[in-house]
Amino acid sequence: MKQKINYRLALIALVAVMAAAVSITLVYYRLFQDQVRKDLKVQAQLLCDTELFQNLTEDPDGIEDTAGFTALAKLENDNLRITWISQSGRVLYDNDTDPGTMPNHLDRPEIRQALETGAGESVRRSDTLNMNTFYYALLLENHTILRVSTQARSIFSVFLSAAPVILIICLIIIGLCVVLGHYLTAQLLRPIEMMAEQLDNTTAVPVYKELKPFADKIRSQHENILSAATSRQDFTANISHELKTPLTAISGYAELIENRMVEGEHAVHIAEQIGHNADRLLSLINDIIKLSELDHSELPRHFSEVDLSEIAGECCRNMQVAAAQCGIRLSFRGSPAVIRGERELLKELVENLVQNAIRYNRENGYVRVSVTAEKGRAVLTVEDNGIGIPEDKQGRIFERFYRVDKSRSRETGGTGLGLAIVKHIAEIHQAEIGLTSRVGAGTTVTVTF
């Protein structure tokens, strides 16, 4: 990662330096070219003003004898080439080359332009690759043409001469980038490393605020993992404990039988007890299996359109006998309420709630189950006038293995897993559970889908 950042920084710097160098050279070269042109123009005008060429007949030999030649000689030193050309394009004078050897100049663009408009200019690349020649031609009053030219460096050569400096700057910047990249990544990563070291320390604040969401998320996940591990441990401990009780009883009874200590009526009682404890074990194991299935919430669920009222009605009919045995009136009232859900799970939910309402009831108590559709939402209500749940315990009854009155619950075969299963099923169906209860008056549980 650090290396990547270093590379990128260096690349960005390199591109930036190159772009700056190229664009500065371009701008500079333009100005430079303008200046060269302007200078040429001024010099041509100056020469013209000396009237040196104006007064000459087309006889170049006379130039050296004129007064203006001093000025001309001076201009020569400035790398200035002066050519005097006749109207027909013949070179009459050139301060650099013998005019006799020079070709007709009528085809030169600056000459043609000067003949047409009075002045002309052009730029040509010289034989030497790195130089450009700038020309400026002026039509004189005697219809001859005065042309001045000078050589100036081409953009390529300007750029080449800047290359060593650019290279040095690039190297310095790359060096800077490496150092900076190192420092930046260290600064960036240090808080993350620090955070990893002190995940448990909830008071530690991230060094920069951009890290806060990340830190919070990681921390909450970490806490979740820890609490899941703890609750799994608790769960295992609870299971072991719950399994132990009926198994100890069964093995005790087996020992009695083995030692031939049971006879007649007593034997029947012991067989009953063994059966009772075995049932407890079975129901406990069933609940655990159910819960562990529900725990895998990532499993795809087989949801379909189901009528909650039909499911609840069926459950109530099935539990009528059990309720009657406990001397409890179980009634059901429902209007069609179609929801998306899984039939088996919903049945389980209703059964658990109704079972609780029967189990934690009193002599001649009642259980009223209803399904209504309110504001487009299906609401299941299970109401009883049983023993109720103390206010301070109401928050905990949905925990696994939690029972308000352990002895009473165990007597009636409860393991404390029923409401944990209910809560799970409600979550899967995105339903909300409501609970109101008063000790001695009864309990009402609502599930809103």
Closest CA to 419 of 263, 287, 280: 287
Residue (39 or 405) nearer to ligand ATP, CB = 405
What's 90's DSSP letter? -
Kindly tell me which residue out of 443, 446, 447, 449 binds ligand ATP, with binding defined by CB under 6 A.
443
Q: Minimal distance in Å, beta carbon 369 to ligand ATP?
A: 12
10 Å Cβ neighbour count for 414?
A: 24
- Select from 342, 322, 339, 338 the least CA-distant residue to 330: 322
Question: By CB neighbour count within 10 A (0-12 exposed, 13-18 middle, 19+ buried), where does 199 fall?
Answer: middle
The burial class, CB within 10 Å (0-12 / 13-18 / 19+), for 110 is buried
Element (H, E) at 385: none
Candidate ranges 22-30, 84-92, 336-344, 414-422; the one touching ligand ATP (CB under 6 A): 414-422
* SS3 category, 292: helix
Asked whether the beta carbons of 74 and 35 are under 8 A apart, the reply is no
Tell whether residue 323 is a contact of ligand ATP (CB under 6 A). no
Q: Is residue 418 a contact point for Mg ion (CB under 5 A)? A: yes
Tokens of 108: 């030169």
Q: With residue 374 as reference, give the H or E element that holds it.
A: strand 366-374
409 binds Mg ion (CB under 5 A): no
Residue 360 contacts ligand ATP per CB under 6 A: yes
Binding segment for ligand ATP (CB under 6 A), chosen from 90-98, 148-156, 268-276, 351-359, is 351-359
Torsion angle defined by CA atoms of residues 69, 70, 74 and 80, in that order, rounded to the nearest 10 degrees: 0
The window from 50-58, 171-179, 388-396, 411-419 that contacts Mg ion (CB under 5 A) reads 411-419
* C-beta of 28 vs 402, nearer to ligand ATP: 402
- Binding of ligand ATP at residue 423 (CB under 6 A)? no
Closest residue to Mg ion using C-beta atoms = 418
Cα–Cα distance for residue pair 82/60, rounded to 1 Å: 12
**Which residue, 412 or 448, is less far from Mg ion as judged by CB?**
412
Distance CA 307, CA 234 (A): 37
Residue 69 vs residues 66, 82, 135, 393: alpha-carbon distances, Å? 6, 12, 21, 119
Q: Which position among 120, 334, 341, 416 is part of the footprint of ligand ATP (CB under 6 A)?
A: 416
Q: Does 356 bind Mg ion (CB under 5 A)?
A: yes
Region label for 133, one of left (φ > 0), alpha (ψ between -120 and 50) or beta (otherwise): beta
Whose Cβ is closer to Mg ion: residue 29's or residue 401's? 401
- Give least dist CB 205 to Mg ion, A: 45
Does residue 357 bind ligand ATP (CB under 6 A)?
yes
How many residues of this chain bind ligand ATP (CB under 6 A)? 24
184 contact partners, CB below 8 Å, separation of at least 6: 5
Q: Which is nearer to ligand ATP, 121 or 348 (CB)?
A: 348
From 186-194, 211-219, 355-363, 437-445, span contacting Mg ion (CB under 5 A): 355-363
Give yes or no for residue 416 binding Mg ion (CB under 5 A). Answer: no
Residue 311, binding choice from ligand ATP, Mg ion, none, Cβ under 5 to 8 Å by partner class: none
Asked whether position 387 contacts ligand ATP by CB under 6 A, the answer is: yes
Residues in the site for ligand ATP, rule: CB under 6 A? Answer: 287, 352, 356-357, 360, 384, 386-389, 397, 402-405, 409, 414-420, 443
